């Protein structure tokens, strides 16, 4: 197989700062953006000009899926992930879909079943998994740097929702109809990271609030990990002042993300001096798109697994809030 020819569906903020740069980083012999489509006229053209791309511009989903391309990247609002993935798989294209994979675990399972039947690769762009600093925390924990995991704490608060800060005007992020929310936007990353570090979550308790929006914009969730550790996830789009913390505690030490996110501090037990590891000093690692292309070349069958696990946690947070009781995440039994 030569270079992988991609169609890009949805030409907004994440296409601009993640999908296009990551494809370009692979080199023209490995991957190419052959076609682009956005429902809003002019957006694909503007993004192509910015990144010096010369794709075919399409006027509909059907048109881009009818082209002789190998794969698509789906970077549209959440409510389109499921139907556009199903359409793309039915058209014989490998799919790299944005997180959240879908808005219901049943839809995610239908996507997986179809990908398996068609022998196509399905991957979810859980982008934190490909950031060296986050991967280094995983390696440290697996190497025993903090000993037996005891507790994880993650705080992510901001003064506004993404339609104000991240992608100005993208109001779908806070609309029920488009399946946006703080759970599907941020918990989908941070709950996934905590599960990556400490292993499966057996029960979730949660309180969500819709303070300024029609969807959850404040989330507090507690995780009961299968290994006996506990975890707390605190998220907000409405705090008066934003802040971030990621802390992993074990019986032999702790890891803390520096407040500005530029590095981590590894703290041995007993108050001994810590060691700082800066993100800029870490070697680069293959990005999400490199992983997807490798998956296509090697006929991978389970690249969807991380996204499916993250979605199960998100849905458990929503269900636990509604039930006022602990909920077991609906993890998929088999790959
Ligand atoms: N992996 C990450 O770190 C990360 C970060 C931010 C956003 N995201 C996800 O990426 C997706 C897009 O987010 P964004 O920030 O780029 O939003 P955005 O609003 O900036 O961009 C979405 C684009 O999709 C287009 N669009 C809307 N409906 C469409 C349709 N039916 N067909 C084709 N195009 C359509 C819009 O015109 C817009 O250009 C969301 O699912 C979001 O959750 C992922």
Per residue in 58-69, is it b (16+ CB within 10 Å) or e — as a string? beebeebbebeb
pLDDT of amino acid 271: 83
Q: Is the CB of 78 under 6 A from ligand 1?
A: yes
Q: Is the CB of 7 under 6 A from ligand 1?
A: no
Pocket test for ligand 1, best of 22, 59, 80, 98 (most atoms within 8 A of CB): 98
Q: What is the Cα Rg of the chain in Å?
A: 20
Q: Is the CB of 22 under 6 A from ligand 1?
A: no
Pocket test for ligand 1, best of 7, 8, 10, 215 (most atoms within 8 A of CB): 10
Pocket test for ligand 1, best of 40, 65, 75 (most atoms within 8 A of CB): 75
Q: Is the CB of 47 under 6 A from ligand 1?
A: no
Q: Is the CB of 40 under 6 A from ligand 1?
A: yes
pLDDT of amino acid 41: 96
* Structure token pair of residue 29: 């012999």
> Could you give the domains of the chain?
4-128+287-303 (3.40.50.720), 131-282+314-323 (3.30.360.10)
- Using alpha carbons, select from 142, 146, 125 the residue that is nearest to residue 251: 146
Q: Is the CB of 207 under 6 A from ligand 1?
A: no
First to last CA, the chain: 26
**For residues 232 and 116, what is the distance between their CA atoms, to the nearest angstrom?**
35
Phi, then psi, of 5 in degrees rounded to 5: -95, 120
- Using alpha carbons, select from 165, 170, 71, 77 the residue that is nearest to residue 121: 71
pLDDT of amino acid 273: 86
Distance 174 CA to ligand 1 centre (A): 13
Pocket test for ligand 1, best of 7, 12, 50, 59 (most atoms within 8 A of CB): 12
Long-range contacts of 262-267 (CB under 8 A, 24+ apart): 263/133, 264/133, 264/136, 264/137, 266/140, 266/145, 266/146
Note down pLDDT in tens along the chain; length 335 residues.
899 999 999 999 999 999 999 999 999 999 999 999 999 999 999 999 999 999 999 999 999 999 999 999 999 999 999 999 999 999 999 999 999 999 999 999 999 999 999 999 999 999 999 999 999 999 999 999 999 999 999 999 999 999 999 999 999 999 999 999 999 999 999 999 999 999 999 999 999 999 999 999 999 999 999 999 999 999 999 999 999 999 999 999 999 999 999 999 999 998 888 999 999 999 999 999 999 999 999 999 999 999 999 999 999 999 999 999 999 999 987 76
Q: Is the CB of 14 under 6 A from ligand 1?
A: yes
* Structure token pair of residue 128: 């934190």
pLDDT of amino acid 322: 98
Q: Is the CB of 181 under 6 A from ligand 1?
A: no
**Minimal-distance CA residue to ligand 1 atom 40:** 77
Distance 15 CA to ligand 1 centre (A): 7
Distance 259 CA to ligand 1 centre (A): 28
Q: Is the CB of 32 under 6 A from ligand 1?
A: no
pTM metric for this prediction: 0.97
pLDDT of amino acid 270: 87
3-class state of residue 335 by DSSP: coil
Residue 282 has, within 13 A of its CA and on its CB side, a CA count of: 19
> Which run of H or E residues covers position 188?
helix 188-198
């Amino acid at each position: 197989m030569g270079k992988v020819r991609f169609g890009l569906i949805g030409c907004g903020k994440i296409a601009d700062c993640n999908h296009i740069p990551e494809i370009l980083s692979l080199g023209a012999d490995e991957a190419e953006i052959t076609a682009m489509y956005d429902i809003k006229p002019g957006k694909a053209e503007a993004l192509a000009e910015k990144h010096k791309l010369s794709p075919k511009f399409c006027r509909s989903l059907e048109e881009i899926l009818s082209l002789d391309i190998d794969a698509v990247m789906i970077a549209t609002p959440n409510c389109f992930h499921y139907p556009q993935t199903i359409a793309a798989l039915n058209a014989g294209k490998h799919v790299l879909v944005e997180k959240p994979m879908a808005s219901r675990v049943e839809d995610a399972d239908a996507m997986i079943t179809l990908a398996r039947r068609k022998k196509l690769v399905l991957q979810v762009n859980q982008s934190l998994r490909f950031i060296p600093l986050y991967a280094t925390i995983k390696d440290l924990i697996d190497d025993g740097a903090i000993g037996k995991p005891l507790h994880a704490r993650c705080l992510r608060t901001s003064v506004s929702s993404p339609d104000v800060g991240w992608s100005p005007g993208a109001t779908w992020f806070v609309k029920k109809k488009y399946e946006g929310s703080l759970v599907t936007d941020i918990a989908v990353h941070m709950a996934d990271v905590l599960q990556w570090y400490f292993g499966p979550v057996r029960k979730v308790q949660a309180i969500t609030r819709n303070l300024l929006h029609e969807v959850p914009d404040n989330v507090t969730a507690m995780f009961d990990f299968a290994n006996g550790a506990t975890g707390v996830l605190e998220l907000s789009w409405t705090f008066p002042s934003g802040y971030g913390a990621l802390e992993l505690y074990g019986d032999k030490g702790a890891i803390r993300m520096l407040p500005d996110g530029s590095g981590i501090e590894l703290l041995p037990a007993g108050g001994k001096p810590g060691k700082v590891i800066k993100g800029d000093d870490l070697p680069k690692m293959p990005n999400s798109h490199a992983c997807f292309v490798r998956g296509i070349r090697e006929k991978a069958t389970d690249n969807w697994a991380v996204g499916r696990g993250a979605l199960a946690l998100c849905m458990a947070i929503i269900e636990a809030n509604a039930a006022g009781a602990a909920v077991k995440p609906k993890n998929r039994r088999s790959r």
